[in-house]
Amino acid sequence: MNKFIILGISFLAILSLMDNSFGSFQTDIRDDIFIFVQTSLRNSDGQLVTYLESSKFSHLNLSALDLFLDFEASQGSAPIITINGKQYETIRRVQSQSFDSEGLVASTILYDNVDGKIVLLARFAHDGYATIPGDTLESMWTFIRPVS
């Protein structure tokens, strides 16, 4: 009996360590930044193959993301919206990609080029989807942050 209890506690401890090592970040409209991504994969005929959306991310580089959003907002295309009497800046960006080979995509990633180096800003890990030549991917990133 004691062996089963110790084994069960050990298993739960290992699971909690595994979960914390992967990490996840759920964004909420009340946070300093709310991020929402919608990803659609279409075949060469334009038919929808896969649609995913999330506001939960496995990686967020908040300092690099702030710099990215400051630059994007400076371009003048970040409308201000009001939610419950508070003003928020809304930034939307679309990423598109076409595939010329078969593969498996297991995450939706937002990168930025900072001083010639590719920097990971946000990653939405998911079960993945298979691609074939001719497929196209579109990811709509929506960022909402309070106006200072």
- Tens of pLDDT, residue by residue over 67-112, are 999 888 888 878 898 988 889 999 999 999 999 999 888 888 888 8
- How confident is the model over 56-65, as a mean pLDDT? 86
Of the two residues 148 and 144, the one the predictor is more confident about is: 144
From residue 126, give the alpha-carbon distance in Å to each of 4, 78, 82, 108, 111.
Answer: 33, 28, 32, 8, 17
Q: What is the pTM of this model?
A: 0.75
Residue with tokens 């890990």: 125
| pLDDT for the residue 1 | 45
Phi, psi of 6 (to 5 degrees): -65, -45
Phi, psi of 20 (to 5 degrees): -70, -30
Of the two residues 75 and 44, the one the predictor is more confident about is: 44
At 23, the pLDDT band (50, 70, 90 cuts) reads: low
**Stretch among 20-29, 31-40, 64-73 having the lowest mean pLDDT:** 20-29
Of the two residues 116 and 10, the one the predictor is more confident about is: 116
